[in-house]
């Protein structure tokens, strides 16, 4: 019974530690993202449209890149400094569209070819992996946001979940309360242990005082017995 209780207690402690570290890491990631977002926002306010972050993340909202990139996957882009060196055919890029239908919107498609314009500049032909034909027109270097270097499956779902009231409650408030309650439990345990130690010390002192009192009583008793024997000897000599 004791061994089972001990194993259960150890397992609970291990699970609690894992949850605590997971919550801590999640809060750290959220904190870093918030700081990055805040800094990016301030830089954008200062520099305006000229501000181009080194890294950018976009959530896919169409099926044009399936099955390689699905709806609500997130793509991580790295800024393009020189398109001739950084962008190659078969790369996936994120760019600002100049099509008539969705002019000015952000699109993530694959580079399928290049084209030289009349002014001698290089332009990129793109197409969604799930589309039967190339995109309208071509993408100029100035419209390229970045080259996709990583795909995070389903991150958009988490983003939508966090945007909801329940998601914010579940991801931020609940873990924070868990950490707070755990710390309170630790403090209560420390207080109980201190009280227990004080009681044990008090009992030890009482026990020590009791033993001292008994020893004193025994000494007095011995002194009285000795005095009685001395008196008895004196009386016997007088006789």
The confidence score (pLDDT) of residue 98 equals 87
The confidence score (pLDDT) of residue 152 equals 85
Please identify, in words, the CATH class of the domain defined by 52-163: mainly beta
Separation between Cα atoms, residue 43 and residue 51, nearest integer Å: 7
Q: Provide CB contacts within 8 A for 115, sequence distance 6+.
A: 122, 123, 124, 125, 138
The confidence score (pLDDT) of residue 8 equals 60
Chain-centre distance of CA 157, in angstroms?
18
Which token pair is 237? 């000599």
Side-chain half-sphere of 8: how many Cα atoms within 13 Å? 5
Write the CA distances from 54 to 18, 71, 76, 86, 103, integer angstroms: 34, 24, 10, 13, 24
The confidence score (pLDDT) of residue 195 equals 73
Q: Provide CB contacts within 8 A for 43, sequence distance 6+.
A: 51, 53
Question: pLDDT tens string for the chain (239 positions)?
Answer: 455 554 666 666 667 677 767 767 766 766 666 566 556 656 656 665 555 677 888 889 999 999 999 998 989 899 998 888 899 999 999 999 988 888 888 899 999 999 998 888 899 999 999 999 999 889 999 899 999 998 988 877 776 776 676 766 666 677 677 777 877 888 888 888 777 777 777 666 666 666 666 666 667 666 666 655 656 666 565 55
The confidence score (pLDDT) of residue 64 equals 93
The confidence score (pLDDT) of residue 229 equals 64
The confidence score (pLDDT) of residue 52 equals 67
**pTM for the complete prediction?**
0.57
Q: What is the dihedral of CA 211, 217, 221, 223, to 10 degrees?
A: 100
Chain-centre distance of CA 164, in angstroms?
19
Separation between Cα atoms, residue 78 and residue 150, nearest integer Å: 9
Helix 2-47 to helix 174-238 angle, to the nearest 10 degrees?
A: 140
């Amino acid at each position: 019974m004791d061994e089972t209780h001990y194993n259960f207690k150890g397992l609970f402690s291990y699970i609690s530690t894992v949850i605590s570290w997971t919550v801590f890491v999640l809060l750290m990631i959220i904190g870093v993202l918030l700081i990055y977002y805040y800094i990016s926002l301030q830089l954008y306010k200062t520099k305006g449209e000229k501000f181009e972050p080194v890294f950018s993340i976009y959530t896919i909202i169409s099926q044009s890149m399936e099955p390689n990139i699905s709806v609500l996957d997130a793509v991580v882009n790295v800024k393009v400094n020189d398109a001739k060196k950084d962008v190659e055919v078969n790369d996936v890029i994120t760019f600002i569209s100049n099509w008539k239908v969705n002019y000015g919107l952000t699109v993530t498609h694959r580079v399928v070819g290049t084209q030289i314009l009349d002014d001698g500049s290089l332009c990129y032909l793109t197409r969604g992996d799930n589309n039967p034909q190339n995109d309208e027109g071509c993408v100029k270097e100035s419209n390229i946001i970045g080259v996709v270097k990583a795909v995070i499956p389903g991150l958009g779902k988490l983003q939508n979940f966090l945007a909801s009231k329940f998601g914010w409650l579940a991801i931020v408030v609940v873990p924070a309360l868990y950490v707070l309650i755990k710390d309170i439990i630790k403090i209560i345990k420390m207080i109980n242990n201190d009280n227990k130690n004080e009681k044990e010390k008090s009992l030890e002192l009482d026990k020590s005082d009791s033993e001292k009192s008994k020893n004193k009583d025994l000494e007095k008793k011995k002194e009285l017995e000795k005095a009685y024997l001395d008196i008895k000897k004196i009386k016997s000599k007088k006789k």
